[in-house]
Amino acid sequence: MAFYYSEPSHTFSEYLLVPGYSSKECIPANVPLKTPVVKYRKGQEECPLTMNIPMVSAVMQSVSGENMGVALAKEGGIAFIYVSQTIEQQAEMVRRVKNSKAGFVLSDSNLRLENTMADAVALKERTGHSTMAVTDDGTGTGKLLGIVTSRDYRVSRMDPNTPVSEFMTPLEKLVTAPEGTTLKVANDIIWDHKLNSLPIVDAEGHLVSFVFRKDYDQHKNNPLELLDSHKRYIVGAGINTRDYAERVPALVEAGVDVLVIDSSEGYSEWQALTLKWIRDHYGDTVKVGAGNVVDGEGFRFLADAGADFVKIGIGGGSICITRETKGIGRGQATAVIDVAAERDKYFEETGVYVPICADGGIVHDYHITLALAMGSDFCMLGRYFSRFDESPTSKVLVNGNYMKEYWGEGSARARNWQRYDLGGAAKLSFEEGVDSYVPYAGALSDGVAITLAKVRSTMCNCGALSLPELREKAKLTLVSEVSIIEGGAHDVTLKDTNNNPRR
């Protein structure tokens, strides 16, 4: 006879945190959000990989490209570059993030000598960058010949067909620095010579990168940015259970910091075989998470198989229709609570702490705090990050409002059959995701700052000054449908953006 759970499973929206005693030290400025990413012997050693904020981006075509990798690392989190592309393309994305050493920017706005002012104007409009390198082959690594900035030309007074060679600042008039120059020295050169940008060139005169004056201030404004020992951004990448023997070595060679098996359901022998192959070939030097699971049994299986962290959630994503098409899954709050209990039990038995990640089901910002209070070490978000400028998708105008495209890996658009692979034919037999739009939300840094301000404020309401303390002190209560309605604006006439009253 089938097993029946005695209680229904619940979502985050069915819970609220009950305030606890807050001391005068409980102010948001005193709340760090540092959290472990991979397993370690808690109390005996330091975690080998931590984040400064408990947020990672989903392994999705519409979320995690190289721009997301850099932007999220600047905020203290990790982006997992999507796996549903060729091995070469994914490895190159990882490589570009790692090469975007903090403060050193690869040039993606480049011109040839034969280009015209019209080409320069069009390039600036396309990339938004006013500093353009002029190289012998028009690439960001070609031999540097000069630089064009918006101060070098006047659209209203010059012929659009004027060659770049006539108005660029030539190499002999530029201040440059050799490859290997430290960021501190580069910034000193910028300040000493009153420069806006400093080209870094190799021994043969090829452009390596730029250091910009504005990035010095930006660096000071990003004290939580996540860097490796070489001051490069930390970045993750997804893998699957089909081509891992070829994909993992390519990603490791590209410099990836952490991997995750991207799968809709992780309680399988396929994941165990993938983890075993990685451990046999790399030992513990390659960090890899696994999932997804929704109960303690699934967590225990993956932890025993060697996972460095475990992802939780099936069917809770905003673009996921797995529950509709297959009738499989579990309410995300209940799943997190169950897995967290097993994670703690596993730690008591083995001394190894395996972090867990709540993946999906995050609708409102406070759901992140709930997931953390219930035991998650960090959250993976798709829809949330897809709204920002740094996601790989297009910004489009829909019914007078700017939106960003957002589609699931199980949609006909992505056709990421490997994510739903059960060992059969190499195809997506039916859809488990949809193609959609989400409201455009501007720059990632602004959105994340607001979200984390809410998380820290709520933690203070609970009397917690760290994530472990939040898990210890949190008091959670289930709420009725009427309580949920009561929690929003009600019994008032709201004003819309046009100042017209609405009910």
Catalytic residues: 320, 419
For 178-182, the CB contacts below 8 A with 24+ separation are 178/202, 178/203, 179/203, 179/208
Residue 195, CA distances (Å) to 171, 178, 211, 212, 274 in order: 14, 16, 10, 8, 50
């953006």: which residue's tokens? 497
Residues in the chain: 503
Q: Give dist(CA 363, CA 491) in Å, integer.
A: 24
- The pair of structure tokens assigned to 226 is 């996540």
Coil, strand, or helix at residue 360? Answer: coil
Residues 6+ apart with CB under 8 A from 216: 103, 187, 190
- The pair of structure tokens assigned to 117 is 């002012």
Ramachandran region, residue 314 (left: φ > 0; alpha: ψ -120 to 50; beta: rest): beta
> Contact at 8 Å (CB) between 331 and 9?
yes
């933690």: which residue's tokens? 459
- The 10 Å Cβ neighbour count of residue 318 is 19
Coil, strand, or helix at residue 452? Answer: helix
Going by C-alpha positions, the residue among 332, 269, 331 that lies closest to residue 302 is 269
Buried b / exposed e over 381-397, threshold 16 CB at 10 Å, is: bbbbbbbbbbbbbeeee
């979502």: which residue's tokens? 11
Does an H or E element contain 98, and which?
A: helix 87-99
Does an H or E element contain 473, and which?
A: helix 467-473
Residue 407 backbone phi and psi in degrees, to 5: -135, 155
Residues 6+ apart with CB under 8 A from 448: 53, 55, 75, 77
- Beta strands 395-398 and 401-407 are antiparallel
Residue 358 backbone phi and psi in degrees, to 5: -80, 115
Helices then strands (H, E): number in the chain?
Answer: 16, 24
Q: Give dist(CA 431, CA 410) in Å, integer.
A: 6
Q: Give dist(CA 493, CA 201) in Å, integer.
A: 62
